[in-house]
Structure 1
Amino acid sequence: MAEDLYQTLGVSRTATKDEIKKAHRKLAVKHHPDQNPDDKKAHEAFKRIQEAYDVLSDDEKRAAYDRYGADFEKIRGTGYQPGSGGSAGFEGLDMEQIFGNRGRGGGGDAQFNGFSDFFEQMMGGGAGPQRGPQRGAPRQVAPQPGATIRHELDLPLEVAVRGGKTEFYLQTGESNEKIAVTIPPGVETGSKIRLRERGGPSPNGGPTGDLILLIKVMDHPHFRRKGRNLEVDVPVSVAEAVLGAKVDVPTPSGTVAVTIPAGTSSGRRLRLKGLGVKNRDDSVGDLFVVVQIEVPESIDDESKKLIEEFAERNPMVLREDLSF
């Protein structure tokens, strides 16, 4: 009995197209000939995976497979032999409905993928005029594109925000290939970058597959990204917070001098417009400076007296409304 296509991909018969796509992607990478050059079982598994995905990823083919799948097995078991004449066992089985025009030979054997042997058995002998290659002639297999490879690429926040060139290593077979790529400014975690013809090689002379980079932006020790805006904690002294000051703050566009207003409390947010993350429409988010007042861990006796005097001369009501 032929293996069930759903079992081949390891999904249920109610699986969504997205679940089928993810299952195919995972299995194709695992069993790809490039990853298993000397493993014939892996090659066969890769072929079955591709055949199953070809049917289950197509709504019309999948519906027909769900309806006629059992009939496929019955037809294989009828004992029908090519050249015997007639078409016993095929009544009610509309091949065009199942595979579109390809079911009538319009696309050649290469269009049938893993079902080619089955169609050869059906269309051989007395099955009528043959529109594909004649029996006994070499089978023409259309060049197949290489597999699409997906690779997660970790990017520092500054590269994701500013853009620029970066390099990474991709394992291909038993070696690591060094690849350079230009990152557009403003990418974020979940963004995808497609590199044409940098994926898996074709198994039979077709075009090389594509490489899709899945972007993951790493955390920064000081800056935080909030959509198109950035936040940074800037430490200031007690004197700077009380008296006001100008402090240098790094931004994606370079260092700028930021005015800390006199009487600034810890946690105050100062907005620097247009110094955040660049959008695709060339608009730019903002940078928010979050003031953090730092106090010395220890002070001398004279400084303590000055602080006490300062507190007496500047009384404050801080916790009057504090409640649970």
Structure 2
Amino acid sequence: MVKDPYDILGVQKTASAADIRSAYRKLAKKLHPDLNPGDKSAEEKFKEVSGAYDLLGDEDKRKRFDNGEIDASGAERPPQHFYREYASAAQGHPYADESGYADFMEGEDAFAELLRRAQHARANRRGQDMHYRLAIDFGESIAGATKRITLPTGGTLDVKIPPGLVDGQVIRLKGKGEPGAGSGGAGDALIEVEVTPDRRFAREGDDISLDLPVSLTEAVLGGRVRVPTPTGDVTMSVPKGSNTGTVLRLKGKGAPRKGGGRGDQFVKLKIVLPKGPDPELEAFVETWAKGKDFDPREAMR
């Protein structure tokens, strides 16, 4: 007997879509076959959790399940009005089929026809959609990649990550879900992507920002420095007399835009002094008259 999907995910029937998604993620992380190699019990529970989320994570399927139109496995149930229509037909009232025309069949014929249609629907039902989660790093979300996931059945599935993808985005792979029955066709694989943050970068829309440490020499005299980007290091010119907070732009080094082109990467400079005392630097600052006269907090008054 198929268990109630709400019980499997440990949520109430009044749970929101966000609560259902959160419960699924928590259980999927705990039970995923990659994290429990050789554990058949965890594998079976993972299948149950995936099936439950396939049903409740789909707004239309959840509504149909709550209305009693499909069962916990996703199979069609006889229409709720089945017996009312049968009783009406048995009492000599005309029976209207799904096409809107009156059949005027005898009661037993009407019952047999409804049963035939229900059986046909079950025999040719579409396969269930399968839900998966896939973690990728920040650079892969910008540049794109091909990743491989392990299925609960032990097989694998290659997923092409499009450039510019954002955290939480769902990729649909048609026909890669559960096989259907008869002519119903296979379901789809729905891959929810989780982008692992990179402490160096922050993304705002299609633009990327980065804090870049520079030496006092590089800030005062200027020069060429190496700058990390999500797609690899590049060389950038630091102007003479740059200061902490100076923002430079690397054009086209952001995320791909939907309409074409790319965003930019903004680099904020941060002057960093060498670790430990430096007698030579201290001696210079002691004799640097302009440095003593300069008030960096003047604008705050």
TM-score under structure 2 length normalisation = 0.66
Match of residue 219 from structure 2: 241
State the distance in 1 between where 2:141 and 2:265 align.
15
2:278 matches 1:297: no
- Residues matched between the structures, number: 254
Match of 1:198 in 2: 176
Q: CA deviation at 1:54?
A: 6.2
Residue in 1 aligned with 2:98? 101
Question: Which protein shows a greater Rg?
Answer: 1
**In the alignment, which residue of structure 1 is the partner of 2:203?**
225
TM alignment of 1:269-288, pairs within 5 A: 269-288=247-266
Shift of 1:284: 0.6
Consecutive unaligned residues of structure 1, counting only runs of 5 or more, are: 1-5, 59-68, 107-122
The residue identity in structure 2 corresponding to 1:127 is G
Query: CA separation of 1:301/1:52 partners in 2, compared to 1, >3 Å: closer, same or farther?
Result: closer
CA contact (8 A) 1:269 1:291 kept: yes
| Match for residue 127 of structure 1 among 107, 113, 116 | 107
1:262 aligns with one of 230, 233, 240: 240
- Deviation, 1:171, is 2.1
CA distance in 2, matches of 1:57, 1:289: 56
Could you give the per-residue CA deviations for residues 220-239 of structure 1, whole angstroms, max 9, x where no partner exists? 13122111011122111011
CA distance in 2, matches of 1:225, 1:301: 41
* Structure 2 unmatched ranges of 5 or more: 1-5, 29-42, 70-79
Percent of pairs with identical residues: 26
Is the Cα contact below 8 Å between 1:105 and 1:131 reproduced in 2? no
Letter in 1 for 2:64: Y
C-alpha displacement at 1:307, in angstroms?
Answer: 2.1
User: 1:210 — aligned with what?
Assistant: 188
Which residue number in structure 2 is paired with residue 147 of structure 1? Answer: 128
| Residues 201 and 104 of structure 1, relative CA distance in 2, 3 Å threshold | farther
Shift of residue 319 of structure 1?
Answer: 1.6
Aligned AA (1:303): L
How many angstroms apart in 1 are the aligned matches of 2:227 and 2:188?
41
What is the CA deviation profile of residues 230-263 of structure 1, one whole-angstrom value per residue up to 9, with x for unaligned ones?
Answer: 1122111011111211112133454322111111
2:199 aligned partner, one-letter code = P
* 1:138-180 deviations in Å (ceiling 9; x for gaps): 95443111111222221111111011211222323xxx33221
Distance change (3 Å), C-alpha of 1:162 and 1:302: closer
- TM-score normalised by L of structure 1: 0.62
